[in-house]
Amino acid sequence: MLNKNSQQVLPWYKEYYVWLIILFPMLAVIGGIVTTILAVQSDDGLVVDDYYKQGLEINRTLKRDQIARDYELNADIKIDRQQEDVAMTLTAAPGFNYPANLAVTFLHATRAGLDQDVKLLLTQGNIYRGNLPLLEPGKWYVHIQHGDWRLINTIYID
């Protein structure tokens, strides 16, 4: 078809400006669908269920951390991903009585649903071992506790 200036008029679907105008709203719709799918698939949950109760226990928690500092506790954590094994070397001030087992909690930095509780047993000297299910890559907080003390470390899983 020709117009009065002898130029060919293209149908609307062959004009690239039309597709450029349609592109941005289409990208917004696709982005909304992807965001909805991600929100439904990943249930992050609450970090702490009972904020009030946690607030009341803060002084006790701080006291446990101070006791760990007084014992000069330090933990070196090695994770073997193929064997699903964790080995931890616990060092402390002279005279520290190493417990027979430790309660260790691996807390994911952003997703509480991935947290793992592990019981480590004293194998020799100051080395503890236990079975650890595969951890997701990312930043993890490790809470090591026994009796009246608690030690907090941070590890990164590749």
Full strand arrangement of the beta sheet holding 127-131: 74-80, 85-91, 127-131, 116-124, 101-108, 138-146, 149-157
Domain range for 112 is 51-157
- How high does pLDDT run on average in the chain? 87
Residues 96-108 have pLDDT tens digits of 899 999 999 999 9
CATH number at residue 128: 2.60.40.10
pTM of the entire predicted model: 0.63
Same domain assignment for residues 82 and 138: yes
DSSP codes, 15-30: -HHHHHHHHHHHHHHH
Residues 45-60 have pLDDT tens digits of 656 667 777 777 777 7
Same domain assignment for residues 69 and 20: no
Number of domains in the chain: 2
Same domain assignment for residues 67 and 22: no
- The CA-based dihedral angle spanning residues 6, 12, 14, 19, taken in that order and rounded to the nearest 10 degrees: 140
